[in-house]
Chain A
Amino acid sequence: KAGVTQTPRYLIKTRGQQVTLSCSPISGHRSVSWYQQTPGQGLQFLFEYFSETQRNKGNFPGRFSGRQFSNSRSEMNVSTLELGDSALYLCASSSLPGAYEQYFGPGTRLTVT
Chain B
Amino acid sequence: AQSVTQLGSHVSVSEGALVLLRCNYSSSVPPYLFWYVQYPNQGLQLLLKYTTGATLVKGINGFEAEFKKSETSFHLTKPSAHMSDAAEYFCAVSDPGTGNQFYFGTGTSLTVIP
Within 8 A of A (CB), among B22-52: 32, 34, 36, 41-46, 49, 51
Q: Is the CB of A99 within 8 A of B100?
A: yes
The answer to whether B42 and A102 touch across the interface, beta carbons within 8 angstroms, is: no
Interface range on chain B (Cβ under 8 Å from partner): 20 to 34
Q: Is the interface of B mostly helix, strand, loop or mixed?
A: strand
Tell yes or no: B99 within 8 A of A by CB.
yes
Q: Residues of A with Cβ closer than 8 Å to B? A: 4, 33, 35, 42-43, 45, 48, 55-56, 90, 92, 97-99, 101-107
Q: List 19 A-B contacts (CB under 8 A).
A: A4-B43, A35-B104, A42-B107, A45-B102, A55-B99, A56-B101, A92-B43, A98-B96, A98-B100, A98-B101, A99-B94, A99-B100, A101-B46, A102-B102, A103-B46, A104-B36, A106-B41, A107-B42, A107-B43
